[in-house]
């Protein structure tokens, strides 16, 4: 038995050995699957209960939703909160539209520039890659700053450039802060490609640019999809920049709209849950549709 | 007719020399093999022709046209890479037909040519497969198919068999040779495997340290090596090199240069070898004669290892009082075991003499230690 050997007697005082002993005891009673499944279940409830509460809340009346003691399961479900939202807040369409435009625009820009940049980083020697302070790392350092630090100077710049309260402004801001993610998600994929693939494509008659689009990009597709989803989620959910850089329905996005449901006087819970559900649905649906490719992207599927 | 000509091509990487003063020609339809240890510049030389590496100096011509600065796709060449570089997101047919697709050849013609090529390579039944469903040998064939479909004027191969197991290697080797003969494509083939080079090439270009050491037919580089490097690199097991001097002025007997621990008779030592200075004697393992009793002109040695190999056996022996081990090939019926004493003689025609300093061959009829590299001729 492991506890009888010399090395484990030494770690006998550590926490790890204690956990191991519990594991052993559970194992001897055949309880390991029960306990691990129990922990997993707890985690699922912990993360999904708020989602359940929001979605079910959107289908309940205000009094039902706020009943004391709280009713976990409602018997009186209704869909009338949904039209009510658009009646009370006709601008919700505009928020939705703004969110879609900003998300699609910034994702397209970030993935395009990020992919090209990554390919360059991986395949070419840059004179300004000084030792360990190489450029891809410096790109990532922009994400080390708390966003609130960058948003103030950004506000001043946007003010001068007439980008405040425009969708274009948000597209640029989101693209800028998503490019580092794209670079770092794709770096591994590009590094895995053998040099000879591009060389073969060049000998087969492509220019390097042609080889990039026709051969390289299809080969890193799982990575592209993962990076795309990631930037979509980031852009769709972003609140801080949107709150500060936009001021009305011209450019305000869904998260900003959601924040306005909570006022100094009241919280419109039943409408907030509807708006929240609508805001959540597209990203969830999107991720669900491409889940297999997403998984392959995150686990760095074998390229060869 | 000369198809490929390297005219004093040099490639430097910063201060490092990749290939230096490469001056070689490959004739139309010839199978030329660039051979040498890793880092010798053979791949650099090949890549200069492919256009994947730009030479620092010199010119490369195909059919008399200077192509040194041309884009790879405009050189009318095709290449098979060591990693094969099949496009994983395409099936077999798409991979093979891809160069034609880029060229803008229509679909029907493409299909026709792909089928013709796969027929030649005996992989017709694989056309609709994905590349990751193929075995090593099949992938090899697909890569070759993709290279020959455009009917290039020069066909380049960079260690294409390196990743195959020994049996498949021999099989593919034969097929490549057969295919090259059938198609008559001028081929440059890079390998570090001297056996592969000997069996494939019409012409071997032996390289070391970025320079060409010798160009010649397989028989020429084997039997008439230009220098000690070529002599040692070609042939397996390698040639034995002994540092010796004449026993006495004008003598046809040689002794170990330092301590005279052994002595041989070597007929017809080149006259260029002086009476006292040491030189290197090169003898291939199979050109020793093995005797089990003392004989005039043979050196006494002790057997340290015996490796039976069927028809013959490989002996590792040590000269009396000398630490150096040499390899000797003997017929299987020479009954010796570890610890036995034997006497080794050398046949004079089979011993090579090299300069101690430069490693240059000192020939029978030459008076000087000429380092000129003989240019190869086609058999």
Interface of B with A (CB under 8 A): 50-52, 71-73, 77-79, 81-85, 87-89, 98-99, 102-103, 132, 146
Cβ contact (<8 Å) for B88 and A206?
no
Q: Are residues B198 and B249 in the same domain?
A: no
- In the numeric block, which tokens belong to residue B152? 């290039």
The residues spanned by each domain of chain A are 2-80, 86-298
Q: Are residues B176 and B284 in the same domain?
A: no
- In the numeric block, which tokens belong to residue A250? 């011209």
Per residue in A168-212, pLDDT (tens digit) is 999 999 999 899 999 988 988 898 888 899 999 999 999 999 999
Cβ contact (<8 Å) for B73 and A203?
yes
Cβ contact (<8 Å) for A200 and B78?
no
B245-277 in b/e form (b: 16+ CB < 10 A) is: bbbeeeeeebbbbeeebbbbbbeebbebbeeee
Residue B127 domain flag: yes
Give the one of A197, A202, A219 whose C-beta lies nearest to B73's C-beta.
A202
Q: What confidence tier does A76 reach under pLDDT thresholds 50, 70, 90?
A: confident
Contacts of A304 in chain B (CB under 8 A): 88, 132
Q: Please identify, among B192, B225, B258, the residue that sits at the C-terminal boundary of a domain.
A: B225
One DSSP character per residue, B116-133 reads HHHHHTT-GGGTTSBGGG
Percentage, residues of chain B above pLDDT 90: 64
B51: left (phi over 0), alpha (psi -120 to 50) or beta: left
Q: What is the pLDDT of residue A3?
A: 47
Q: Are residues B208 and B158 in the same domain?
A: yes
Q: What is the pLDDT of residue A287?
A: 81
Give the one of A201, A210, A303 whose C-beta lies nearest to B88's C-beta.
A303
The dihedral built from the CA positions of residue B242, B243, B244 and B245, taken in this order, carries a sign that is: positive
Per residue in A34-48, pLDDT (tens digit) is 999 999 999 999 999
**Which of B48, B86, B89 to substitute to test the interface with A, most A CBs within 10 Å?**
B89
- Nearest 5°: phi and psi at B9? -85, 130
One DSSP character per residue, A226-250 reads HHHHHHHHHHHH--HHHHHH--STT
A288: left (phi over 0), alpha (psi -120 to 50) or beta: alpha
- In the numeric block, which tokens belong to residue A227? 């990076």
Average pLDDT, chain B: 89
Q: Are residues B78 and B114 in the same domain?
A: yes
Q: What CATH number is associated with residue B270?
A: 2.40.50.140
Give the residue numbers spanning the domain of B335.
233-354
For residue A264, CA distances in Å to A63, A127, A135, A268, B61 come to 20, 56, 47, 11, 82
Over residues A124-149, the mean pLDDT reads 77
- In the numeric block, which tokens belong to residue B181? 């003969």
The answer to whether the beta carbons of residues B60 and B46 sit under 8 Å apart is no
Q: What is the pLDDT of residue B232?
A: 95
Does the pLDDT at position A71 exceed 90?
no
User: Which residue from B230, B219, B217, B267 is spatially nearest to B246, judged by alpha carbons?
Assistant: B267
Does the pLDDT at position B97 exceed 60?
yes
Q: Are residues B249 and B168 in the same domain?
A: no
Does the pLDDT at position A139 exceed 90?
no
Contacts of A196 in chain B (CB under 8 A): 81-85
Residue B304 domain flag: yes
Return the number of CB contacts < 8 Å for A and B: 55
Q: What is the pLDDT of residue A302?
A: 38
Contacts of A199 in chain B (CB under 8 A): 50, 52, 79, 81, 85
Taking the model in full, what pTM does it have? 0.78
Cβ contact (<8 Å) for B88 and A207?
no
The answer to whether the beta carbons of residues B360 and B370 sit under 8 Å apart is yes
Does the pLDDT at position B267 exceed 80?
no
Cβ contact (<8 Å) for A199 and B98?
no
User: Which residue from A286, A291, A154 is spatially nearest to A222, judged by alpha carbons?
Assistant: A291
Q: What is the pLDDT of residue B348?
A: 64
Residue B19 domain flag: yes
Does the pLDDT at position B144 exceed 90?
yes
User: Which residue from A141, A142, A216, A147 is spatially nearest to A186, judged by alpha carbons?
Assistant: A216
User: Which residue from B146, B172, B174 is spatially nearest to B161, judged by alpha carbons?
Assistant: B172
User: Which residue from A36, A140, A105, A90 is spatially nearest to A271, judged by alpha carbons?
Assistant: A90
Contacts of B84 in chain A (CB under 8 A): 196
Q: Longest Cα pair distance anywhere in chain A, in angstroms?
A: 74
Q: Please identify, among B187, B203, B225, the residue that sits at the C-terminal boundary of a domain.
A: B225
Q: Are residues B210 and B348 in the same domain?
A: no
- Nearest 5°: phi and psi at B35? -125, 140
To the nearest whole angstrom, how far is the Cα of A197 from the nearest Cα of chain B? 5
One DSSP character per residue, B173-199 reads HHHHHHHHHHHT-EEEEEES-HHHHHH
H or E, element range at B21: strand B16-22
Cβ contact (<8 Å) for B99 and A205?
yes
Residue B35 domain flag: yes
Listed in order, strand segments (DSSP E) in B259-371 are: 263-265, 279-283, 288-291, 299-308, 312-319, 325-331, 341-346, 351-354
Q: Are residues B220 and B238 in the same domain?
A: no
Residue B366 domain flag: no
Q: What confidence tier does B105 reach under pLDDT thresholds 50, 70, 90?
A: very high
- In the numeric block, which tokens belong to residue B372? 């000129």
Q: Are residues B7 and B153 in the same domain?
A: yes
- Bridge partner list, A224: none
First vs last C-alpha separation in chain A: 43
Q: Are residues B116 and B64 in the same domain?
A: yes
H or E, element range at A198: helix A195-203
Over residues B112-121, the mean pLDDT reads 92
Domain spanning A86-298 has what CATH number?
1.10.3720.10
Cβ contact (<8 Å) for A196 and B72?
no
Give the one of A197, A203, A206 whose C-beta lies nearest to B50's C-beta.
A203
Between CA B17 and CA B202 the distance in angstroms is 28
The answer to whether the beta carbons of residues A297 and A220 sit under 8 Å apart is no
> Which of A83-97, B213-227, B357-371 has the weakest average pLDDT?
B357-371
Residue B363 domain flag: no
Interface of A with B (CB under 8 A): 194, 196-197, 199-207, 210, 215, 218-219, 221, 303-304
Give the one of A194, A206, A218 whose C-beta lies nearest to B102's C-beta.
A206
Q: What CATH number is associated with residue B171?
A: 3.40.50.300
Over residues B366-379, the mean pLDDT reads 42
Between CA B62 and CA B69 the distance in angstroms is 12
Helices (H), A11-57: 15-28, 32-57
How many Cα atoms within 13 Å fall on the side-chain side of residue A284?
A: 8
Over residues A75-82, the mean pLDDT reads 87
Q: What is the pLDDT of residue B225?
A: 95
Does the pLDDT at position A301 exceed 70?
no
Cβ contact (<8 Å) for A199 and B85?
yes
Q: For helices A291-298 and A269-289, give the axis angle rounded to 10 degrees.
A: 70
The residue of chain A with its CA nearest to that of B151 is: A204
The answer to whether the beta carbons of residues B240 and B247 sit under 8 Å apart is no
Over residues A39-65, the mean pLDDT reads 92
Over residues B84-102, the mean pLDDT reads 93
The residue of chain A with its CA nearest to that of B86 is: A197
Q: Are residues B88 and B210 in the same domain?
A: yes
Does the pLDDT at position B26 exceed 60?
yes
Between CA A125 and CA B192 the distance in angstroms is 29
Contacts of A222 in chain B (CB under 8 A): none
Q: What is the pLDDT of residue A130?
A: 64
To the nearest whole angstrom, how far is the Cα of A216 from the nearest Cα of chain B? 9
Cβ contact (<8 Å) for A197 and B85?
yes
Residue B373 domain flag: no
Percentage, residues of chain B above pLDDT 70: 95
Q: What is the pLDDT of residue B372?
A: 43
The answer to whether the beta carbons of residues B33 and B203 sit under 8 Å apart is yes
Q: What is the pLDDT of residue A46?
A: 95
The residue of chain B with its CA nearest to that of A210 is: B102
Does the pLDDT at position B223 exceed 70?
yes
Domain count of the fold of chain B: 2
**Which of A189, A194, A203, A222 to substitute to test the interface with B, most B CBs within 10 Å?**
A203
Per residue in A212-269, pLDDT (tens digit) is 999 999 988 888 988 998 899 999 999 999 999 999 888 999 999 988 888 778 888 8
Q: What is the pLDDT of residue A298?
A: 65
Q: Are residues B78 and B197 in the same domain?
A: yes
The answer to whether the beta carbons of residues A211 and A202 sit under 8 Å apart is yes
The answer to whether the beta carbons of residues B9 and B22 sit under 8 Å apart is yes
- In the numeric block, which tokens belong to residue B206? 């032996």
Q: Are residues B220 and B239 in the same domain?
A: no
């Amino acid at each position: 038995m492991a506890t009888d050997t010399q090395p484990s007697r030494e770690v006998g005082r550590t926490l790890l050995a204690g956990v191991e002993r519990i594991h052993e005891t559970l194992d001897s009673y055949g309880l390991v699957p029960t306990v691990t499944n129990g922990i997993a279940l707890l985690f699922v409830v912990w993360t999904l209960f708020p989602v359940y509460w929001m979605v079910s809340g959107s289908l309940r009346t205000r009094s039902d939703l706020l009943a004391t003691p709280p009713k976990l399961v409602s018997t009186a479900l209704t869909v009338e909160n949904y039209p009510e939202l658009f009646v009370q807040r006709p601008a919700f369409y505009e928020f939705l539209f703004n969110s879609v435009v900003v998300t699609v625009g910034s994702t397209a820009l970030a993935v395009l520039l990020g992919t090209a940049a990554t390919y360059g980083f991986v395949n070419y020697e840059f004179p300004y890659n000084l030792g360990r302070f190489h450029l891809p790392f410096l790109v990532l350092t922009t994400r080390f700053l708390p966003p609130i630090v960058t948003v103030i100077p950004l506000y001043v710049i946007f003010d001068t450039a007439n980008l405040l309260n425009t969708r274009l402004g948000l597209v640029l801001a989101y693209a800028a802060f998503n490019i580092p993610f794209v670079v770092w998600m794709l770096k591994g994929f590009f590094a895995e490609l053998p040099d000879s693939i591009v060389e073969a494509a060049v000998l087969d008659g492509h220019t390097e640019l042609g080889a990039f689009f026709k051969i390289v990009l299809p080969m890193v597709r799982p990575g592209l999809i993962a990076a795309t989803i990631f930037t979509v989620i980031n852009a769709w959910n972003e609140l801080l920049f949107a709150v500060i850089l936009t001021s009305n329905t011209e450019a305000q996005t869904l998260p900003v709209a959601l924040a306005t449901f909570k006022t100094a006087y009241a919280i419109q819970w039943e409408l907030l849950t509807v708006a929240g559900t609508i805001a959540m649905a597209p990203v969830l649906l999107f991720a669900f549709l491409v889940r297999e490719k997403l998984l392959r992207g995150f686990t760095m599927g074998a390229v060869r | 007719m000369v198809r490929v000509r390297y005219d004093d091509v040099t490639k430097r990487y910063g201060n490092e020399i990749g290939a230096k003063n490469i001056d070689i020609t490959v004739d139309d339809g010839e199978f030329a093999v660039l051979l040498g240890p890793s880092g010798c510049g053979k791949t650099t030389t090949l890549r200069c022709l492919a256009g994947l590496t730009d030479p620092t100096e010199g010119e490369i011509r195909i059919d008399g046209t200077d192509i040194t600065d041309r884009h790879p796709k405009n050189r009318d060449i095709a290449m098979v890479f060591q990693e094969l570089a099949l496009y994983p997101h395409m099936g077999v047919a798409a991979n093979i037909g891809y160069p034609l697709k880029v060229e803008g050849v229509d679909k029907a013609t493409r299909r026709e040519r792909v089928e013709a090529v796969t027929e030649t390579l005996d992989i017709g039944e694989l056309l609709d497969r994905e590349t990751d469903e193929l075995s090593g040998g099949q992938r090899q064939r697909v890569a070759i198919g993709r290279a020959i479909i455009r009917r290039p004027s020069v066909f380049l191969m960079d260690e294409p068999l390196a990743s195959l197991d020994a049996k498949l290697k021999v099989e593919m080797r034969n097929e490549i040779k057969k295919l090259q003969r059938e198609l008559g494509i001028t081929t440059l083939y890079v390998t570090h495997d001297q056996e592969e080079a000997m069996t494939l090439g019409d012409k071997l270009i032996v390289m070391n340290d970025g320079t060409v050491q010798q160009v010649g037919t397989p028989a020429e580089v084997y039997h008439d090596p230009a220098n000690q490097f070529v002599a040692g690199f070609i042939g397996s097991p390698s040639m034995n090199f002994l540092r010796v001097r004449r026993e006495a002025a004008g003598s046809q007997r040689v002794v170990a240069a330092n301590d005279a621990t052994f002595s041989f008779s070597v007929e017809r030592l080149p006259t260029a070898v002086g009476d006292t200075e040491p030189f290197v004697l090169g003898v291939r393992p199979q050109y020793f004669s093995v005797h089990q009793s003392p004989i005039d002109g043979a050196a006494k040695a002790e057997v340290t290892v015996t490796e039976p190999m069927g028809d013959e056996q490989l002996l590792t022996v040590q000269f009396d009082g000398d630490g150096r081990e040499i390899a000797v090939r003997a017929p299987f019926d020479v009954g010796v075991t570890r610890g036995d004493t034997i006497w080794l003689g050398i046949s004079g025609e089979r011993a090579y003499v090299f300069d101690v300093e430069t490693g240059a061959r000192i020939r029978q009829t030459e008076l000087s230690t000429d380092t000129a590299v003989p240019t190869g001729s086609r058999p």
